[in-house]
Amino acid sequence: IPEIGVKSEGVGRLTVVLMKNHEPQQGVRLSIRKDGRVLGSDFTDGTGSAGFRLMHGDYECIVQDRSRQIRVFTLHFRENNQKILIEL
pTM of the model: 0.85
Residue-level pLDDT at 65? 82
Q: Select the more confidently predicted residue: 79 or 9.
A: 79
| Alpha-carbon torsion angle 87, 69, 27, 54, nearest 10 | -70
For 34-39, which contacts have Cβ atoms below 8 Å and span 24 or more sequence positions?
34/58, 34/59, 34/60, 38/62
Radius of gyration of the chain (CA): 14
Torsion of CA 47, 76, 71, 68, to 10 degrees: -40
Average pLDDT over residues 65-80: 91
Read off the pLDDT of residues 20-31 as tens digits, 9 standing for 90 and up: 999 999 999 999
For the stretch 35-50, pLDDT in tens is 999 999 999 999 999 9
